[in-house]
């Protein structure tokens, strides 16, 4: 199962490389089906973790999802930082 953290990290890494993220990029990277990818993107958008770079998501009905490009929002970046803090080994206090 692909986690929200993995998808956010993938989008962030592509942004560092100066690349946008499309639905097809996620499908190829994680081996997800069209409907699984669509569901994950919609969930991340509803949680305000990502935004479409070209149109508002409210008009997704007029746009094909595969034509949209996504980026992390400040909230998505903060969630990624939170995951990084949670995954760090605890420092031992002697």
Identify the CA nearest to 26 among candidates 58, 50, 2: 2
Pair 4, 69: CB distance under 8 Å: no
Domain coordinates in residue numbering, the chain: 4-83
Task: Tell me which fold the domain 4-83 belongs to.
Answer: Arc Repressor Mutant, subunit A (1.10.10)
Residue with tokens 């770079």: 53
Identify the CA nearest to 71 among candidates 62, 80, 63: 80
Name the pLDDT band for 68 (thresholds 50, 70, 90).
confident
What's the pTM value of the predicted model, to 2 decimals?
Answer: 0.80
Pair 72, 49: CB distance under 8 Å: yes
d(CA 41, CA 35): 10
Q: Note the pLDDT tens digit of each residue in 5-29.
A: 999 999 999 999 999 899 999 999 9
């Amino acid at each position: 199962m692909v986690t929200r953290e993995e998808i956010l990290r993938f989008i962030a890494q592509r942004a560092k490389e100066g690349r946008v993220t499309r639905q097809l990029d996620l499908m190829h990277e994680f081996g997800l089906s069209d409907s699984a990818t669509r569901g994950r993107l919609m969930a991340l958008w509803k949680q305000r973790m990502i935004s479409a770079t070209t149109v508002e998501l409210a008009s997704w009905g007029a746009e094909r999802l595969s034509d949209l490009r996504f980026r992390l929002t400040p909230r998505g970046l903060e969630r990624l930082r939170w995951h990084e803090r949670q995954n760090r080994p605890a420092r031992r206090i002697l």
